[in-house]
A = this chain, B = another copy of it.
Amino acid sequence: MIKKQLLQSNEKVSLGRPTLANSKDIKTELTKIAMELVQTRGYNGFSYQDLAERLNIRKASIHYYFPAKEDLGAGLMEVGLDRVHDWHEKLRSQKLTPTEMMEAYFDYYSELSEDATKICPCGALASEWQNLPQKVQEAYTNMLNCHSEFMESVIEAGRQSGEFSSKGTAQEQAQFVLAAIMGGLQTSRAQGNPALFGLLIHQLWTMLKK
């Protein structure tokens, strides 16, 4: 305990106050770090204490922003949903072809896979799903559905443009692509071999492309 206190005071910047006391948005910072922790350790795998240490504040202060941990969890999923939603809007506004949109998806997750410590937010909560507070479950499902719907629309568009193969329904393929990405991030992390995710993406293309 003494050790920790020393460590903290060493880490402080020259001002006597925590680095982030001046930040406009500690809540944003909390969200960011919490998301990282969720992706590396899962929902039950991190505590307010972990967050407090990373931000150099006391854990009681976090309750000011997120009264209960389920508020934080649901908040994370809502931020995730917004981000996914905005991303989809951006891809659409760029008038990308279905192939390019799919590439954007694959690129994003390939990059994630290279950090062999993280998985995607959906996968991160998946195995604990049954334990999650209801608020978190609901927000989680919303985010997952958002991915599903977008993916299905991209695949549908790719079929109409003749870029994608029409084997199986678009819904089937969408379900499939998302499950493979989610599972692939998990298996490649556990096998300590990010390259395995690359193989998986390659195979996904083989399936999708005409």
Contacts and interface: CB of A to CB of B under 8 A. Distances in A.
A157 interface: no
Could you say which of A131, A175, A181, A200 has the most chain B C-beta atoms within 10 Å of its C-beta?
A175
Contact of A187 (B119, B126, B167, B186): B126
A175 B203 contact: yes
A158 interface: no
Closest 9 CB pairs of A and B: A183-B183, A179-B183, A126-B186, A182-B183, A179-B184, A127-B127, A172-B199, A172-B203, A180-B180
B187 A200 contact: no
Nearest to A38: B127
A178 interface: yes
12 contacts: A41-B128, A41-B130, A41-B131, A126-B127, A126-B187, A141-B192, A144-B191, A171-B199, A173-B203, A175-B196, A179-B183, A179-B184
